[in-house]
Homo-oligomer: A and B are copies of this chain.
Amino acid sequence: MTLRFEVLARDGLARKGRITTPRGSFTTPCFMPVGTRAAVRTLDTADLEALNPSVVLANTYHLMMRPGPEVVQRLGGVHGFTGWSGHVLTDSGGYQVFSLDPKVDDDGAVFKSTYDGSAHRFTAERVVDVQLQLGSDIQMALDVCPPSEAPAPVQRLAVDRTAAWAARARRRFLERGGPDAGAAQFGIVQGGIDPALRAESAVRTVEVGFEGYAVGGLSVGEPRDQMMAALVATTPHLPDGQPRYFMGLGDPIGLVECVALGVDLFDCVLPTRLARHGTALTWEGRLNIANSPFAADDRPIDPAFPASPVARYPRAYLRHLFNVDEPSAARLLTLHNVAWLLALMDAAQEAIAAGSLDQLRAEVADAWARPAESSPR
C-alpha cells in the first residue's frame, strides 16, 4: 500500500490519525485547501509553505483544460509545476463535469469545456491517466455526482455507475503503475440523501478496494440534518483502518460535527471564497470586514487567534484595503481563513487526544451560532 493510516487516539467515533505516504506523513483530521488551478486562489506556493497545510487539492478538470496535463507532466507534475513539496490530492473532475450538463452513458461523460467550448470525454480510465500525468499523491476515482434533489432512479443509476467506474478506475490505476509512482487512490461513495443507497454505495466501493474512501455528493445544498443522516449511514461501512474524506465541506460547525462521526479529511473552497467576499472566519463567527464599525478598529482580525498570519494588521487597514479594491485584501483574508481552519483542525486533533471533543464542538457551536450557510466547493 502506498498509503498507511494509523489511529493514534479516539474520542467516541472520532479519531486522531496519521497518514503516511512515500511523500511523508501527516496527522488527521485535517482540512485541505483547494488549489483549483494549481494555486490556492490569491496565494502562491511560498504563501502555502507558510500556512503549511498537510495536503493541497488541485482540480483535475481545470488542469486538464488549462494548461493541459502534458504541460504539467513536462514540468514535473503539479509538484514541479508549482514548487509545492507537500501532499497533493487531485479530485476526479466528476463534480465539475456533472455541473456542465454532460451526456452520460455507461462508458463515461461528454461535456463542453467552460474555457473554450471544446468537447471532451471523461471516462474512468481517462481520469486515471490524467491524474497520473499530474503526479498527485492521492487520486480520486471518477464518480457520478447527481444533484442532491435528483429522483431516486437517478441516484440509483449514479450508484451503479459509480461502482462500475470505481472498478475500472482501480484496474487502470494498478495497470498503469499508480502504486509504483507513489500514488494512492480513493473511491467515492454516492447515494444522495437515501441512507440505504449510501450504505450500499459504501459497501460496493469498499469491495473494489482503495487506499481510502470519500463521501461525495453531499454538502451540495441539502438540509444539514439530511446530510448528517447520509453520513451516519455511510461511515459504519467504511474500514476503520483507512482514511475517510468528506468532500466539499468547510464550515466550522460542519467540520467538527463530521470529525465527531469519524471523518479524517475535508476540502472546501469556503474559506477562500468567503475571503474574496470580505468575510473572515473568527471565534466571534463570521466577520464582514467591510462593516463600518471596523473603520478605525485597531484590533487584529481575530483577537482569539493571535497566530493568524495577518494578525499584524489592524482591522481598519484590512477594511480599507477591501473597500478600495486592493487585491491584497482578498489574499490577506484568504491567508487568515485558511490558517483559521487549519488551526481548528489542529484543535480537533488535540481535543480527540484529550477526550474533549464535545467541549470543542460546544465552543464552535457557540461562536458560530447562526445557521451554517451551504458551503460552496
Checking B39, B75, B324, B332 against A328 with a beta-carbon cut-off of 8 angstroms, the contacting residue is: B39
A88 within 8 A of B: no
Checking B44, B67, B324 against A37 with a beta-carbon cut-off of 8 angstroms, the contacting residue is: B324
A38 within 8 A of B: yes
Residues of chain B lying within 8 A (CB to CB) of residue A38? 317, 320
A316 within 8 A of B: yes
Residues of chain B lying within 8 A (CB to CB) of residue A66? 320, 323-324
Checking B62, B67, B323, B326 against A39 with a beta-carbon cut-off of 8 angstroms, the contacting residue is: B326
State whether A296 touches B71 (Cβ < 8 A). yes
Complex Cα–Cα for A71 and B330 (A): 21
State whether A75 touches B326 (Cβ < 8 A). no
Q: How far is the CB of A227 from chain B (nearest CB, A)?
A: 31
Checking B41, B45, B320, B327 against A41 with a beta-carbon cut-off of 8 angstroms, the contacting residue is: B327
Encode A306-343 as 1/0 by CB contact (under 8 A) with B.
Answer: 00001011101101110110111011100000000000
Checking B67, B313, B316, B331 against A331 with a beta-carbon cut-off of 8 angstroms, the contacting residue is: B331
Residues of chain B lying within 8 A (CB to CB) of residue A321? 37, 39
State whether A45 touches B320 (Cβ < 8 A). no
Q: How far is the CB of A280 from chain B (nearest CB, A)?
A: 15
Interface residues of A (CB under 8 A from B): 37-39, 41-46, 62, 66-67, 71, 74-75, 80-83, 295-296, 298, 310, 312-314, 316-317, 319-321, 323-324, 326-328, 330-332
Q: Which of A296, A316, A320 has the most CB of B within 10 A?
A: A320
Q: With CB as the reference atom, state the residue of chain B lying closest to A65.
A: B324
Residues of chain B lying within 8 A (CB to CB) of residue A330? 327
State whether B75 touches A313 (Cβ < 8 A). no
Q: How far is the CB of A362 from chain B (nearest CB, A)?
A: 35
Extra pairs beyond A39-B326, A42-B328, A67-B319 (14, CB < 8 Å)? A37-B320, A38-B317, A39-B328, A41-B326, A42-B327, A44-B313, A66-B324, A71-B316, A74-B296, A74-B316, A75-B316, A75-B317, A81-B320, A82-B317
State whether A326 touches B37 (Cβ < 8 A). yes
State whether B312 touches A83 (Cβ < 8 A). yes
Residues of chain B lying within 8 A (CB to CB) of residue A44? 310, 313, 328, 331-332
Complex Cα–Cα for A45 and B335 (A): 14
Complex Cα–Cα for A80 and B314 (A): 9
Q: How far is the CB of A45 from chain B (nearest CB, A)?
A: 7
Complex Cα–Cα for A196 and B321 (A): 44
Complex Cα–Cα for A185 and B145 (A): 65
Complex Cα–Cα for A80 and B320 (A): 14
Question: Would you mind naming 13 contact pairs between A and B with Cβ atoms under 8 Å apart?
Answer: A37-B321, A38-B320, A39-B326, A41-B326, A42-B328, A43-B328, A44-B313, A45-B312, A66-B320, A67-B319, A81-B316, A81-B320, A82-B313
Q: With CB as the reference atom, state the residue of chain B lying closest to A70.
A: B296
Residues of chain B lying within 8 A (CB to CB) of residue A323? 66-67
State whether A83 touches B328 (Cβ < 8 A). no
Complex Cα–Cα for A321 and B39 (A): 8
Q: Which of A62, A313, A323, A328 has the most CB of B within 10 A?
A: A328
Q: With CB as the reference atom, state the residue of chain B lying closest to A50.
A: B46
Q: With CB as the reference atom, state the residue of chain B lying closest to A66.
A: B324
Q: How far is the CB of A313 from chain B (nearest CB, A)?
A: 6
